[in-house]
């Protein structure tokens, strides 16, 4: 008996080969997808691996043989030096201090932005008052111009107020953009009206309603915004570079700029220390993104809308 002699068998045979073909195609497609992703992972990670590996080598080795992929054995001494040695022109700024300053900037920026924008969004959404619409449009206008395009006049304003080299002068101008206000405004608008009606029947005033109902409802939103804003604040570069000439206020990202100055003059630049500093500058925000991944993705996708 041959396969082709029985029509029913032949049909099931061709169905089977078709299914096998589809399976094979699906498998090949999966192989393709994995290949693309592995290429992507290599593309994103390789530079960072090279940076980390090289930071553990002696600068003389790097200078003569190029960047390294391996372990150079100098991890503890290099990172110890970057973290604890006093450096800079004044001779008293350490890596730990710069990291701490970055934490202050990140926290100050994120918390300041959340508090100020929640209050403003609450006023705009929940109150009927003549100035409301005007206020909304004024705040709206800040979305149009990033700090970079008005950097020089902003510097002059801060200078004329005597706020150079101060945390206030560093953080407040960065908060001036109203992205978070818009985000909370959208969110508050989606909160059901019944909640406010119920709260009013129970005799709650604006303050009680905000603190006891709106803030607890906003918790996930606040977390998401906080993570994005912390990373954005931590990564600020241009404004701190202009604003802070006093080294005790240097953040770690601002410190990167200082490294370059040393780099240009040196015979054998301290590649290892520069890379160690780069690694130290990226680890805290990276950890935050990794640990709070869900809130991070939510925050990013929602706030950028």
Partner 1 sequence: MKKALFGPSLTPYLLLAPQMAIVAIFFLWPSAEAVRSSFHIEDPFFGTATFVGTDNYVDAVTSSTYGRAARFTALFTVVVSVVSLGIALALAVSADAVLRGRATYKTTLMWVYAIAPPVAGLIGSMLFDQHIGPLKEFAALFGWDMRVGFDYADTAIAMMTVAAWKQIPVNFIFFLSGLQGIPNALKEAASIDCRSPVRRFWTVVFPLLAPTSFFLLIINITYALFETFGVVDVMLKGEPGNNPVTLVYKVFLDGFRGQDLGGSSAQSVILMVAVFLLTVIQFRLIERRVHYA
Sole binder of partner 1 in the list 126, 165, 167, 217 (CB under 8 A) = 126
CB 82 within 8 A of CB 277: yes
CB 49 within 8 A of CB 43: no
CB 42 within 8 A of CB 69: no
Residue whose structure tokens are 């000439």: 245
Q: How far apart are CA 195 and CA 186, in angstroms?
A: 16
Task: State the minimum distance, in angstroms, from the CB of residue 114 to partner 1.
Answer: 12
Give me 265's structure tokens: 């003059």
154 is a contact residue toward partner 1 (CB under 8 A): yes
82 is a contact residue toward partner 1 (CB under 8 A): no
289 is a contact residue toward partner 1 (CB under 8 A): yes
Give me 44's structure tokens: 């994103």
Q: Which residues make beta-bridge pairs with 87?
A: 93
3 vs 119, beta carbon nearer partner 1: 119
CB 270 within 8 A of CB 262: yes
Among 215, 216, 188, 184, CA closest to 117: 184
Q: Per CB under 8 A, which of residues 240..259 are in contact with partner 1?
A: 241-242, 253, 256-257, 259
Q: Per CB under 8 A, which of residues 1..40 are in contact with partner 1?
A: 29-30, 32-34, 36-37, 40
For 16, residues 6+ apart whose C-beta sits below 8 A from its C-beta are: none
294 is a contact residue toward partner 1 (CB under 8 A): no
Task: State the minimum distance, in angstroms, from the CB of residue 86 to partner 1.
Answer: 22
Sole binder of partner 1 in the list 48, 88, 219, 226 (CB under 8 A) = 48
Sole binder of partner 1 in the list 91, 216, 264, 265 (CB under 8 A) = 264
51 is a contact residue toward partner 1 (CB under 8 A): yes
Give me 301's structure tokens: 């996708």
* Region near partner 1 per CB under 8 A, out of 5-13, 70-78, 103-111, 123-131: 123-131
* Region near partner 1 per CB under 8 A, out of 79-87, 92-100, 216-224, 297-305: 297-305
19 vs 143, beta carbon nearer partner 1: 143
């Amino acid at each position: 008996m041959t396969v082709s002699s029985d029509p029913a068998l032949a049909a099931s045979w061709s169905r089977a080969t078709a299914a096998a073909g589809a399976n094979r195609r699906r498998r090949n497609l999966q192989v393709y997808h994995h290949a693309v992703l592995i290429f992507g992972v290599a593309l994103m990670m390789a530079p960072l691996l090279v940076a980390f590996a090289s930071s553990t080598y002696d600068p003389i080795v790097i200078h003569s043989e190029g960047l390294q992929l391996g372990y150079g054995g100098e991890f503890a001494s290099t990172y110890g030096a970057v973290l604890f040695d006093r450096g800079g022109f004044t001779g008293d700024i350490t890596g730990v201090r710069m990291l701490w300053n970055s934490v202050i900037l990140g926290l100050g920026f994120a918390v300041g932005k959340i508090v100020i924008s929640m209050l403003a969004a609450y006023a705009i959404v929940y109150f009927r008052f003549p100035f409301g619409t005007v206020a909304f449009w004024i705040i709206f206008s800040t979305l149009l111009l990033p700090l970079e395009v008005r950097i020089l006049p902003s510097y002059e304003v801060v200078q004329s107020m005597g706020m150079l080299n101060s945390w206030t002068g560093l953080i407040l101008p960065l908060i001036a953009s109203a992205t978070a206000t818009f985000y909370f405004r959208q969110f508050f608008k989606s909160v059901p009206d019944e909640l406010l009606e119920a709260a009013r029947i129970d005799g709650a005033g604006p303050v009680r309603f905000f603190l006891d109902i709106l803030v607890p409802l906003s918790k996930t939103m606040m977390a998401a915004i906080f993570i994005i804003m912390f990373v954005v604040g931590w990564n600020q570069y241009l404004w701190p570079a202009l604003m802070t000439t006093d080294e005790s206020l240097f953040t770690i990202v601002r410190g990167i700029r200082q490294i370059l100055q040393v780099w240009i003059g040196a015979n054998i630049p301290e590649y290892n220390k520069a890379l160690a500093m780069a690694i130290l500058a990226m680890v805290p925000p990276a950890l935050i993104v990794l640990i709070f991944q869900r809130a991070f993705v939510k925050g990013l996708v929602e706030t950028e809308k």
